[in-house]
Amino acid sequence: MDIYDFLERLPFDTVKPPPLVTVVRLSGVIAEGRGGGFQRTLSLAGLAGTLEKAFRPKHLAAVALAINSPGGSPVQSSLIAGRIRQLAAEKNVPVFAFVEDVAASGGYWLATAADEIFVDGASIVGSIGVVSAGFGFTQLIEKIGIERRVHAQGARKAMLDPFRPERQEDVTRLLALQTELHDGFKAEVRRRRGDKLKGDDATLFEGDIWTGHKAVALGLADGVGDLRGVLRRRFGDKVKLTVVGGQDSWLKRRFGLSSAPGGWAQDVLGTIEERLHWARYGL
């Protein structure tokens, strides 16, 4: 039992604890079923318990999201943001997002789960778009004398196979899927930001990124400010900030030890992919 539970159970109202704001860190690439070793990834499965705990205190003033993410899975972005909104509605608690280095693509989707978004002037914000990247190895396998054999039922089952020549109909199909995802992303930004948005679709939704100051001017964020400063101004100097969420063991943090089935090899590949996500924003 912590001090807040103790004070809430006292049989009189003479003692009133200071306002409590729980803080949830959302840091890393957004991806399902990952996160071993050196990687820091975000998924609903990994965050569900933390989010429940963050909204659990009875006399909660607000929940703060400290966001530092270059994006990743659109599905996980949607699921995490959706769970935050569900809990906020159930508990009738406001949510504040504080962008650190970057909230781009899915990272910005997470920020839209908040009622208000604050940034640092140098934060990178935006990238409201959808991207798919890969490699083609057709010339390589031809050069080293490898024959690619694919047998599939379904005309599109082997779509965009990297070891076969790219077909225009496959690219057209991929772009159609991306359009659906992009439309959903845009609709969510419009729904959450509403009349705050300043700018047309060509400005806001073509995948561009901005500094924090410009994001505020475009209505993608509400102001420039840090977590502690904003919350002290909003709830008073005595506001209690409590970080919610477990930490990895000391050995895992120190040496990057992995419990993932793929072990070290999966960690290395995953870390390379993670670095590519961050590198798109110069980080």
Every domain of the chain and the residues it spans: 18-127+208-279, 129-185
Q: How many other C-beta atoms can be found within 10 angstroms of the C-beta atom of residue 121?
A: 12
pLDDT of residue 130: 72
C-alpha span between 105 and 127 (Å, rounded): 5
Residue length, the chain?
A: 283
**Measuring CA to CA, which residue among 165, 122, 109 is closest to residue 141?**
165
**Measuring CA to CA, which residue among 21, 19, 26 is closest to residue 83?**
26
Amino acid present at 267: D
Q: Which range is most confident: 5-14, 141-150, 160-169, 200-209?
A: 200-209
Stronger pLDDT, 245 or 276, i.e. the higher one: 245
Average pLDDT of span 79-104 = 97
C-alpha span between 142 and 138 (Å, rounded): 6
pLDDT of residue 56: 96
pLDDT of residue 11: 56
pLDDT of residue 193: 94
Residue range 153-187, pLDDT digits in tens: 676 666 666 767 777 777 777 778 778 888 889 99
Q: How many other C-beta atoms can be found within 10 angstroms of the C-beta atom of residue 167?
A: 13
Stronger pLDDT, 5 or 145, i.e. the higher one: 145
Stronger pLDDT, 5 or 174, i.e. the higher one: 174
CA distances from 258 to 34, 119, 152, 275 (A): 11, 33, 35, 18
Whether residue 56 contacts residue 242, with contact meaning beta carbons closer than 8 Å, is answered with no
The DSSP result for 185-237, as a single string, is HHHHHHHHHGGG--S-HHHHSSS-EEEHHHHHHTTSSSEE--HHHHHHHHH-T
pLDDT of residue 41: 87
- Tokens 């109909």 belong to 169
49-58, 139-148, 243-252, 263-272: least confidently modelled range: 263-272
pLDDT of residue 264: 44
Average pLDDT of span 120-144 = 78
DSSP-derived pairing of the beta strands 209-211 and 124-126: antiparallel
**Measuring CA to CA, which residue among 274, 255, 245 is closest to residue 37?**
255
pLDDT of residue 271: 52
Whether residue 221 contacts residue 193, with contact meaning beta carbons closer than 8 Å, is answered with no
Average pLDDT of span 101-120 = 96
Average pLDDT of span 109-133 = 90
Whether residue 127 contacts residue 207, with contact meaning beta carbons closer than 8 Å, is answered with yes
pLDDT, averaged across the chain: 81
- Tokens 């890969």 belong to 134
C-alpha span between 151 and 154 (Å, rounded): 10
pLDDT of residue 27: 94
pLDDT of residue 95: 98
Contacts with 166 (C-beta within 8 Å, 6 or more apart), sequence order? 136, 160
Whether residue 98 contacts residue 132, with contact meaning beta carbons closer than 8 Å, is answered with no
Position 268 pLDDT exceeds 70: no
**Measuring CA to CA, which residue among 123, 131, 58, 136 is closest to residue 97?**
123
Q: How confident is the model at residue 32 (pLDDT cuts 50, 70, 90)?
A: confident
State whether CATH 1.10.287.610 applies to domain 18-127+208-279: no
pLDDT of residue 57: 94
Position 248 pLDDT exceeds 90: no
Q: How confident is the model at residue 29 (pLDDT cuts 50, 70, 90)?
A: very high
pLDDT of residue 266: 47
- Tokens 């009133």 belong to 16
pLDDT of residue 112: 97
pLDDT of residue 67: 97
pLDDT of residue 9: 62
Q: How confident is the model at residue 250 (pLDDT cuts 50, 70, 90)?
A: very low
H-run or E-run covering 164: none
- The three-class DSSP label of residue 57 is coil
CA distances from 43 to 26, 38, 211, 243 (A): 10, 16, 26, 18
Whether residue 114 contacts residue 97, with contact meaning beta carbons closer than 8 Å, is answered with yes
